[in-house]
Structure 1
Amino acid sequence: MQRCIIFPKVKSPLCPQAERTATKVTSSGVRP
């Protein structure tokens, strides 16, 4: 599992899959 932290205000391509869940992930939300 990869821990990717994506910020809704900052669109950083840390993880390709996390970018899609960025809308559902909060500033302090971490999704596998």
Structure 2
Amino acid sequence: MEDEIKVTKKRLAVIIGENGQTKKDIQKKTPT
């Protein structure tokens, strides 16, 4: 069970990281 939790946390971290990068890219493309 613990291993599964670690894997899911890693997946969530990757998803959050990807979302963060896309947000940064959108901010760069659209001037504030």
Q: Larger % of helix: which?
A: 2
Q: TM-score, normalised by structure 1?
A: 0.24
Q: TM-score, normalised by structure 2?
A: 0.24
